[in-house]
Structure formats: structure tokens, C-alpha cells
Amino acid sequence: NRMYLVCPMNMSAYVDPQKSGQEVWEEFSHSFTPAVREVVEFAKKIPGFRDLSQHDQVSLLKAGTFEVLVVRFASLFDVQNRTVTFLGGRKYSMDALRAMGAGDLLNSMFDFSEKLMSLGLSEEEMSLFTAVVLVSADRSGIENVNSVEALQETLIRALRSLITKNHPNESAIFTKLLLKLPDLRSLNNMHSEQLLAFKVH
Amino acid sequence: FNDPANNLGLEDIIRKALMGNLEERQE
């Protein structure tokens, strides 16, 4: 009845059987909290983000943090060797994680990371794309949709201009990036379902 | 009402990280 945590945001996939559920949960929380804080720090640096209402800043971050983390940690997935590196530095093969109980979500994250990394974006491009992922006016609970929409449009225009400038012969990259947004939503939904199931167990 | 993000305590972490900055600005 050994328990495993297959989310790469853990330090390790192995759970100490001596630990209580509460201790396991707290350890997981200690592991992902710094990553969430980094997402907030990143959001603060997006020009115009701090001008949104505090309610909308929180709503965007609550809804989009997982998607931002998927983009930021895409490099944890090693496509060539089919491995995933956890935050604690331990590396696991996808087969090993599957044997530990990982399902469609991790496979889908792996596929997403593979496609995103294949675009060969620069750090600046990746950063701007991440801002576009976060500032989405159709997240639930947004009170001032017009302000978020205006910021979203500005960021999308900036991303298009940067991609066009850096990849003049690869006009499809911008379209491919925009098509990643629904993929991220779908991963987010799968993740939410897993979280609910996890809490139940 | 099931709120997976909040089950992780995400809102609390986000609010504290955002507020920290507000306090810094007030100082």
C-alpha cells in the first residue's frame, strides 16, 4: 500500500509511510509555495498588472498559476530520455511514474512540454507568452473584464511583434503559441479534477 | 462548493505575496 506523489512539484515521488496525511500535505505545500510566490512576483512585473483591481489580480493568479507553472517548468520534462525531474532534483522515467500511478495528466503535460520546447523560444519570448497565459479575461470571477481584456490585447500584440521580429520566416510560431492556450486550459481542468480526487483520498 | 485551487491554500499564498508588495510600497 505504498503511496507515491507523482506531481513534479514534490521534492520526491516517494512518501515516507511513517508520516501522517497532514505531514505529507504540509511537506507538499512547503515544496510548491515558493513556486507560487515566484508566479506572483512574475505577475507583479507585467506592465499594467498592478493597475488591475486587487480582486482581479487574485482571480487571475488563482485561475492561472497552474498554467504558468506548466510553462515555466516545461524544461523539467526531458523529451529525449523520457524523464521528469522533480523540484527536489530527483529524476524519474515516465514508465516509473506510470507504475507509481501517474495517468493521462502527466502524459499530456509531457506532450505539451515537448511541443512547447520544440518551438525554441528565447527567454524573453517565453516570458511574454507566460504573461499572455496569465492575463486572460475569460477566467471566472473577473469583475472588470474590459480592463483585463485591454491588458491581454496589449500583451498579445507585444508577443506577436516580438515573434515576428525574431522569427521572420516562421510566421506559424505565433499561431502555434496561441493554440497552446486551450491546451493549457485542458491541462488545468485535468489537474483540478486530480486535486479533488486527491483530497478525497 | 469545490475549489481545487483553494484546497491547496493557493489564494492565501497569492494574497500574502501580493499584499507584501503593497506594504512595501506604503513604507
Query: Mean pLDDT lowest for which of A5-14, A121-130, A192-201?
Result: A192-201
pLDDT beyond 60 at A103: yes
Q: Which residue type, as a one-letter code, is found at position A156? A: I
Helices (H), chain A: 21-44, 54-72, 94-99, 104-118, 123-134, 145-166, 172-200
Chain A within 8 Å of B2 (Cβ-Cβ)? yes
3-state class (DSSP) for residue A105: helix
pLDDT at position B3 is 60
User: Is there a contact between A40 and B17 if contact means CB atoms under 8 Å apart?
Assistant: yes
pLDDT at position B1 is 37
How many angstroms separate the CA of residue B26 from the nearest CA in chain A? 14
Distance CA A65, CA A62 (A): 6
DSSP A38-81: HHHHHHHTSTTGGGS-HHHHHHHHHHHHHHHHHHHTGGGEETTT
pLDDT tens sequence across A112-145: 999 999 999 999 999 999 999 999 999 999 999 9
Question: Average pLDDT of A141-165?
Answer: 97
pLDDT at position B4 is 60
The phi and psi torsions of A78 (rounded to 5 degrees) equal: -95, 105
Chain A within 8 Å of B12 (Cβ-Cβ)? no
Q: At A76, is the pLDDT very low, low, confident or very high (cuts 50, 70, 90)?
A: very high
pLDDT tens sequence across B1-27: 346 656 678 899 999 999 885 555 544
Chain A segment 54-83 residues within 8 A of B by beta carbon are 54, 57-58, 61-63, 65-66
Task: Give, as one character, the DSSP assignment of residue A92.
Answer: E
Distance CA B17, CA B22 (A): 9
Question: Average pLDDT of A93-114?
Answer: 93
pLDDT tens sequence across A181-191: 999 999 999 99
